[in-house]
Structure formats: structure tokens, C-alpha cells
Amino acid sequence: MLQFITQKYTRESGVRSLDRTLAGVMRSVAKKVAMNESYQTKLNQKDIADALGPVKYDNEEYTKVDLPGVAVGLAWTRMGGDILFIEASTSKGKGKLTLTGNLGDVMKESASTALSYIKAHSLSLGIDPEAFDHTDIHVHVPEGAIPKDGPSAGITMLTAITSALKNKPVKPYLAMTGEITLRGKVLPVGGIKEKVLAARRSGITEIMLCEDNRRHVEQIPADYIKGIHFTYVTKMDQVIENALGFLVF
């Protein structure tokens, strides 16, 4: 029940909210004692809901997606880490790139950088260069009410767009984080501990990130990352090869 309360009723980097929430449960039971009402000494989820109301947070669990164009990123927030689904789709058009989902300028730049890299390396990726002239690309990040920004979704944007263009699904149970450049480099990002813990909480079994972030992973206690395989990359073609399972020539 402590774990249930922590996951469903609190979302913070510290424990002040958890302290207040637990106190609320105790006051609820104390009231029943004072009023000579029946109460349980061992609480279940229904008792918690009676004391605190409906759950406030629903931590997004990873669900396997077999559709092309969907990749899972890792985000840092003030309340810790979270997984982030990024969706890309293609349609007939004039080469327009559309970005939706309450994205900040830096995140929009990551999508543009990813598309520019794909266009520049279309032949090595097995994509017809002329296809971009009559194909519109739409990138969407769900939960539009939540602002999203930062460069760490770069490799996720790259993977989602490439997956949509190649019509090939991304490897399941894989999440990723890393900044990208036009030169094809993958750069390190921050908030690794929070992102890794969010991935483990969501059921992710593999995380791909920059080689320079290896030292940050090594600082996380082994018990916290048990069952997670880490793939370290330095180049964007390594990202595509690992995520989509085909070689970039």
C-alpha cells in the first residue's frame, strides 16, 4: 500500500507530499476510531481511495506497439523522470513537416535536425530521395496539455521518423535519450538517473543513450537497474541500426 500511495498519489522529487498524504490516511482512520466506526488495521486499495479520493497520477506503463513510427523517449521533469511516446506518420503531400503536442523550440529543432539528417543520408538508409518531395511528415507527442522541451528527444525523433519512412516498427521494450547533430553525432544529456528509474518503473528492458552518459549509469545502485540492458552509441546510424534492426551503409 505504501508503494501504491507513492505511485498513484504523489509525484515529486522529495517526500513532503508523501508525508502529507500518509498523514491524510492516518487521520481518516483516526476519525473512524474517534467516531466508533468500523475500520481496518490493514488497509487495501479501496480503503486508500476512501481516504484520499480517486488516484491522482497514472504512471504510464510501456505497452508494446507494432505500428511503424512510434518510439519511446525518456524525459526529465521536476517530479522525476517519465517515458515519452513519440509518434510519426507519413502521407502524400509536398514535403511539409508538422509538429504537434505542445513542443518547445528546442524540441522542434531536434525534429528538424533529425529529418535533415535522414534526407542527407537517404540513400544509405534505403529511402528514395525523391520521396521527400511528395511526402508530408507529422510528428506528434501525446499529452498536449503538458509542455515539452529540451534536446534529449533527438534520437527518439530520429528513430520515429525513420521508422515511419521505412514502414518498419521499432524494437519493443526499448527507450532512448540523447541529443543529435547534423554531423550524425549523439551527444550526452542530463537527468539520467531519473530517466532510468522511470524506464524501469514502466517495464522497459533496454535503454539506448550516449556513450558519454555511461559514467552516470554506473553511479546508479545495481539493484535499481537490475533487468535493464544498456546500449551506448556515439553516432546516429548506430541508433537506427539498433532500434530498427537494419544496417546503414
Write down the catalytic residue from 110, 148, 152, 163. 152
195 tagged catalytic: yes
Residues 76 and 63: their CA atoms lie apart, in Å, by: 20
124 tagged catalytic: no
Q: What angle do CA 144, 150, 151 make, to 5 degrees?
A: 125
Pair type for strands 174-177 and 135-140: unpaired
* 225-232 long-range Cβ contacts below 8 angstroms, 24+ apart: 225/196, 225/200, 227/200, 228/196, 228/199, 228/200, 228/204, 229/205, 230/206, 231/206, 231/207, 232/208
Active site residues: 152, 195
